[in-house]
Amino acid sequence: MSAGRFVILSQRRCGAAAVYRLLAPWVAAPGLGGQPFEWTRALGEVSRAFHQGAIQQARARLEQCLAEGVFFHHRYDLEAWEFNAMLLDALARSGYRVVVMEREIDVDQLLSIVIADRFECRELKDVERLRDRLRSGSDVPDIDSDFIASLVRGQLASKHWFDQAVEASSVDRMVCRHKEIFLSGVKTLEVADVLFEYCGAGSRAAVVDDASLLRFALSGQFYTSGLTAYSPSLLRARREIAIVLSNTSSFDDGARSSDSRA
């Protein structure tokens, strides 16, 4: 077990939840799962206080929780930038290491977010259920163009902000790329070895054998883009995402999402 302190930060659909599940059995700190700052979850009081204007109270409670030692993954694109800045500062002050799960913002990631948000497909079983529905001849409603445009701008803006904020912070971090874990075949083993060592979880090979790790990597990729083969609506959404992405050259500084707090 590890006495080290670290958390995982990412945007949505970057594989953070899967990596959290991989590491959680070997981390000594209590695991709080994903999105612990949602108001109904373990650290919801921190976010609630912050967004109700009690910022000093929120900071004090956050630093108290971190001092006790916790392990969680947080999707920064679902919180306000000011809150994320407070979190980064508290993590650095509390001596936490941060695993940054990163994925290039591309059509596949954005389509995955659309499918997750619009059709509640956040787990493999949900994707399979939707695939069966589409293969049977049923389709899903067309995706609103304004939603797609807002999503693309928001994801680009949050990634831009986060990259700058992390670079300016003193937080100790390791970048772990989605493709290195889920799309690199046997090279996943090398990345996992470095990840386990960085997190202080000991020798990866001593706790997770090669075959099990490779099965994990393959199961972590849900291939939501493959759903477009059965759905004209999702295929149109994918094409529209590609167009908006190619035409978006600036960031919407006001774009942020905190709808998931309540």
Q: How far apart are CA 6 and CA 91, in angstroms?
A: 8
> Is the pTM for the entire model greater than 0.85?
yes
- Domain-by-domain residue ranges, the chain? 6-251
At 73, is the secondary structure helix, strand, or coil? strand
How far CA 117 is from CA of 12, 58, 121, 137, 248, in Å, comes to 10, 28, 7, 22, 22
The distance of Cα 61 from the centroid of its chain, to the nearest Å, equals: 23
Q: For residue 159, give the amino acid letter.
A: K
* pLDDT tens for the chain, residues 1 to 262: 345 699 999 999 999 999 999 999 998 888 999 999 999 999 999 999 999 999 999 999 999 999 999 999 999 999 999 999 999 999 999 999 999 999 988 998 999 999 998 998 877 788 889 999 999 999 999 999 999 999 999 999 999 999 999 999 999 999 999 999 988 889 999 999 999 999 988 899 999 999 999 988 876 555 788 899 999 999 999 999 999 999 986 554 444 444 444 4
Supply angle C-alpha 134, 135, 138, rounded to 5.
40
Maximum C-alpha span of the chain: 54
What order do you get walking across the sheet with 31-34 strand by strand? Answer: 31-34, 71-75, 6-10, 97-102, 172-177
Q: Return d(Cα 85, Cα 163) in angstroms, integer.
A: 12
Residues 222 and 121: their CA atoms lie apart, in Å, by: 10
CA nearest neighbour of 48 among 68, 63, 31, 62: 62
- C-alpha 27/C-alpha 186 separation (Å) is 24
Give the type of residue at 96. Answer: Y
Mean pLDDT, the chain, rounded, equals: 89
The interaxial angle of helices 81-93 and 145-168, nearest 10 deg, is: 30
d(CA 116, CA 26): 29
> What does CATH list as the number for 6-251?
3.40.50
